[in-house]
Amino acid sequence: MHSRTRRAAAAVAGLLALGLAAAPSVTAAPRATAPTPGAAASLPSYETWQRDVRKAMDPAIPYLKDRVAQGGSKLAIVLDIDNTSLETEYHPGAPNKPVLEFAKAAAGSGVPILIATARSESGKSAALSALKKAGYPAITEICLKKNESHAVDVKIRCRKQFVAEGYTLIANVGNRPGDLEYKNYERGFKLPDYDGQLS
């Protein structure tokens, strides 16, 4: 056998081995993260969502404690409401527990809780009472949608306003990519939105 032929045969054998090795991981891929191309997107189960939320929030309380210990002026955290603070999609009105735990840890450390939400200004008192009913500590400030067309613009205006008021935004928790845009905060915690399925 010529060496060129042997090399070609070895390459083919290698490709076959790769194909065989890759096959099980493809079939075992979870549906939520690898939807079938062309299939309608569907929300994952509540359990999967909670697992994903917990994974994102796991470092939040240790981070908060470390950050508070470092000090600074008017440290505050910013939370989104829908599908972040509250389980809007899965259990309307119920607290999203990992975020509630984070908010309680912040309050326990004397860190104000600021809310930035794309809910409209007219729903301000309803939003505050929903958070209170869900067990959230006192909300120091809430900033809502005025006349913006896009939620991202609301979130950016609200955070700019908080910074202008002198707050140091040590954490920003949201579930839409737009919630984390414009980085005038120290650390972001991005919860899942499953390609825009969760508001």
Site string for Mg ion, 104-133 (x = CB under 5 A): ------------------------------
Q: Are the beta carbons of 52 and 46 closer than 8 angstroms?
A: no
Stretch of residues binding Mg ion (CB under 5 A), selected from 61-69, 93-101, 131-139, 168-176: 168-176
Spatial distance between the Cα atoms of 49 and 51, rounded to a whole number of angstroms: 5
Binding test (CB under 5 A) with Mg ion, winner from 77, 80, 116, 139: 80
Q: Does 83 bind Mg ion (CB under 5 A)?
A: yes
Residue type for 89, please? E
Token pair of 42, please? 């569907």
Choosing from 60, 78, 79, 82, the residue that interacts with Mg ion (CB under 5 A) is 82
Q: Work out how close the CB of 88 gets to Mg ion at its nearest, in angstroms, rounded to a whole number.
A: 7
Which range in 6-14, 73-81, 94-102, 135-143 contacts Mg ion by CB under 5 A? Answer: 73-81
Distance CA 199, CA 81 (A): 10
Output 172 or 175, the one with its CB closest to Mg ion.
Answer: 175
Under DSSP, the state recorded for 91 is S
Query: Considering beta carbons, is residue 75 or 191 the nearer one to Mg ion?
Result: 191
Q: Which is nearer to Mg ion, 83 or 172 (CB)?
A: 83
- The answer to whether 174 and 154 have CB atoms below 8 angstroms apart is no
Exposure string of 6-20, with b = 16+ CB inside 10 Å and e = fewer, is eeeeeeeeeeeeeee
Query: Least distance to Mg ion from the beta carbon of 199, Å?
Result: 5
Strand partners, 95: 86
- For Mg ion, the binding residues (CB under 5 A) are 80, 82-84, 175
